[in-house]
Structure 1
Amino acid sequence: MWQTVITLCLLANLSGVRATCTYPYVAVGEKCLFFATMADIQYSEARQMCHSMGGELAAVLTATQFKDIVYYIYDYGYSGQHFWLDGTDSAVEGQWQTSAGLPLPMGTPFWATTYGNIEPNNKENEDCLEIHPARNYYMNDITCDAINSPLCEEDVVSSSRNVTAPTSCPRPYVELAGLCLAFITWADQGWAEARQTCHGLSGELAALTDIEQLRAVYLYLHQESIAFDSFWLGGSDIEQEGSWKWTDGEPVIMGTPFWGFKENINSQQPQGGTAENCLYLDAQAGHYFSDGDCELLLNPLCMLEGQ
């Protein structure tokens, strides 16, 4: 499972951590970086993952920073991996900048260049930044819905976001409406497997028992640009059809304003009967509560145990 992979990756890098870097970040030149090789996700999800780890996608602003990252990739066995970096020209085509609004360096020695082709080339509306083994880890523009691993940098605060991972919630949890929640966008799992993923993070699938919690989650999903993802919650009526309970046995609140609709405004969820026994936040229906087949492959929304 992915939590085993992340543990092995982090343990392998412990010797590189210095006092100025907070675990699981390692010192790479002047930066504290986390090579999140357990996750293969889109650009927006990669940013959210870095935010939940107390950072941002790594910004490369000098030639030395770029050299240090490339050398580290080869020296520490990441040479088969491909990574997202902090950079986009989605606001104005051709004007590449970080999430904090800093201009990215162009040309040599950063971007890949061959006869007749100079990156970034916006070949297919490519607005996001990657480094990839196919280009020997030179920078390349790529579509933002491509799949790469996040390369996170610690404590880089972006002017475009307001949520940080507070010290009261251990990483990768973030604090929302008094809860420590982890949005596991890098795992697509059935409900039972999603519970196991949360258990591996000392948590459980989230129970949203107050409407302000649902509102806070909704705002976070849009702020972090992961509103296209659906998330498992810790509710089900597996034991008794129609009797919805959280994993701790407490009843799930029914009706408005928690439960939404799928196709017909006159038929409020849950409507799936015995075929749909697990609770999730449905991206296609405004992230209201919905019942679904427990084998659907969705992202876990974990809550730290003891809350």
Structure 2
Amino acid sequence: MGRQLLHLLLSIAVMATDSLSSPYEKMKKEILEMYAKEDLVQNEMHCPDMFTLVSDKCIYFASFMQESRAAGKQVCHSLGGELAAIKTATQLQNIIEEIEQRGLAQADFWIDGTFNGTSWNFTNGEPVPLGTPFWYATESEFTPNNDTATSCASITTDSGFLMKDVPCEEKYSPICEHDPIALNQPKEDQEKEKDLKAAKINCPPFFTALNGYCIAFVTFFSSSWATAKQTCHSFTTNSSLLLPTDIELLRSIYLYLHKEALYGYTFWIGATDEGHEGVWKNTENQIIDIKAPFWGNSETEFTMEPDGDQTENCLALTSPGQHYFRDQDCSELYNPLCVAPPLMN
């Protein structure tokens, strides 16, 4: 039924109620219900894969990982989202209810919000709401403490999932958010979105588009080189340890790690000379020639990596070594750096 006709019928019903009450009141109620139903259809939203509509946001609880805030934030970014910004009391209430319904009441979570030494702000610069009913408080103390040593916002089991300021290196699970997508998006907007997707590669969950590659910075798991290789294979079809043989990609990885504050992590990458010292092969057993400027400097003066002889046969981008190529003991526990083919649009 068209809007104009509904307006006409509603006007008739309202005028008629002055003289006749019962039948026209019923008619008015039915018309208002039709309005509400039409608005619901027009405003119906859906969430990207892995996200669930909670309050007015699409939310994902990454409870499988317990890591620093920086690592949690990057996981949200890899899903096209951001750490969840709790801006209203209703949003907080609904997230707490969702945590309880999912059986996650023993978990601790990162949310958006940091203290810059002067004020609490979300990533987009908006102020974080303070006081009741957002922040943890007892009769003798209340948060936040406005201390740069505890400058990241969380909701934890011991705070009853009220917001609390904690050190940013605590090991918590991130709550990610994504804007809902309108099901009845106008055709021209759908076309724009399609063109934008075509311009950018579409990556699997947890993989980030970087220089035309889909890369997963697996900060939530560390292992030996062999297990890291298997871990990448388990992520998605044709996923493997990344070997960045393009020097611009190595540069982009370095910049990304600093942008996302992940520079403290060391990553396994896809090459080993375990079969024959000095002959480096990728994960497909193909011989590769690695030259400057991929290798970092050795601890021995005026020499370059690799310098581990037969004791260090696997390739890594190490944090102390500024994420140059370095040969390492294959049994060391480092994080996998995985690559996967882009998804078909």
Counterpart of 1:111, as a letter, is W
Cα pair distance change 1:252/1:286, threshold 3 Å: farther
Q: Percent identity?
A: 40
2:326 corresponds to which of 285, 290, 296: 290
Counterpart of 1:207, as a letter, is L
Counterpart of 2:124, as a letter, is A
1:239 corresponds to which of 275, 288, 294: 275
Structure with the larger helix share: 2
Partner of 1:31: 57
Displacement after TM superposition at 1:250 (Å) = 3.0
Q: After superposition, where does 1:83-98 map in structure 2 within 5 Å?
A: 83-89=109-115, 91-93=116-118, 95-98=119-122
How many angstroms apart in 1 are the aligned matches of 2:257 and 2:162? 32
- TM (norm. structure 1) is 0.87
SS of corresponding position for 2:149: coil
Partner of 2:300: 264
How many angstroms apart in 2 are the aligned matches of 1:218 and 1:131? 31
SS of corresponding position for 1:140: strand
Partner of 2:190: none
Deviation string, structure 1 residues 160-187 (Cα, Å, up to 9, x no partner): xxxx9x5521221112122111111111
Displacement after TM superposition at 1:99 (Å) = 0.7
Deviation string, structure 1 residues 210-246 (Cα, Å, up to 9, x no partner): 1111111111111111011111101001111111111
Counterpart of 1:294, as a letter, is C
Partner of 1:280: 316
How many angstroms apart in 2 are the aligned matches of 1:306 and 1:97? 34
How many angstroms apart in 2 are the aligned matches of 1:204 and 1:155? 31
Counterpart of 2:64, as a letter, is M
Structure 2 residue 224 is matched with structure 1 residue 190: yes
- Contact kept in structure 2, 1:255 and 1:268, CA below 8 Å: no
Partner of 2:124: 100
Cα pair distance change 1:215/1:123, threshold 3 Å: closer
Which 5+ residue runs of structure 1 have no aligned equivalent? Answer: 1-17, 157-163
Q: After superposition, where does 1:1-307 map in structure 2 within 5 Å?
A: 20-89=46-115, 91-93=116-118, 95-122=119-146, 125-155=149-179, 168-202=202-236, 203-305=239-341
- Contact kept in structure 2, 1:122 and 1:142, CA below 8 Å: no
- Contact kept in structure 1, 2:214 and 2:342, CA below 8 Å: no
How many angstroms apart in 1 are the aligned matches of 2:117 and 2:232? 39
Displacement after TM superposition at 1:205 (Å) = 0.2
Partner of 1:161: none
- TM (norm. structure 2) is 0.77
Displacement after TM superposition at 1:58 (Å) = 0.3
Cα pair distance change 1:267/1:114, threshold 3 Å: same
SS of corresponding position for 1:195: helix
- Contact kept in structure 1, 2:267 and 2:336, CA below 8 Å: yes
Partner of 2:15: none
Deviation string, structure 1 residues 94-132 (Cα, Å, up to 9, x no partner): x11111111110000000111221101246710001100
How many angstroms apart in 2 are the aligned matches of 1:306 and 1:125? 40
How many angstroms apart in 2 are the aligned matches of 1:242 and 1:86? 46
Counterpart of 2:142, as a letter, is I
SS of corresponding position for 1:150: strand
How many angstroms apart in 2 are the aligned matches of 1:262 and 1:129? 40
SS of corresponding position for 2:46: coil
Structure 1: 4+ residue segments shifted above 4 A? none
How many angstroms apart in 2 are the aligned matches of 1:290 and 1:112? 46
